[in-house]
């Protein structure tokens, strides 16, 4: 498994946590930051998947 997939998954989880915390405390900026981090994690995870596919 490519390292980018692990890091991307971590970013997705961290982003989800930020988004939920933002909703809980009513902080719109924190929600947006969380969504952005989730998107970044998805892209990084996908890139890692492509690297894995190319290795096979």
Residue 30 has pLDDT above 80, yes or no: yes
Task: Give the range of the structural domain holding residue 29, as residue numbers without chain letter.
Answer: 3-55
Tens-digit pLDDT profile for residues 12-26: 999 999 999 999 999
Average pLDDT over residues 3-10: 94
Token pair for residue 23? 């909703």
pLDDT for 39 beyond 80: yes
Give pLDDT, residue 1.
77
Within its chain, how far is the Cα of 51 from the centroid?
Answer: 18
Q: Domains in the chain: how many in total? A: 1
Distance CA(28)–CA(50), nearest Å, equals: 33
């Amino acid at each position: 498994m490519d390292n980018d997939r692990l890091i991307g998954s971590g970013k997705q989880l961290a982003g989800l946590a930020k988004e939920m915390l933002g909703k809980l405390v009513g902080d719109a900026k924190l929600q947006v930051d969380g969504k952005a981090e989730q998107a970044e994690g998805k892209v990084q995870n996908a890139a890692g998947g492509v690297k894995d596919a190319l290795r096979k």
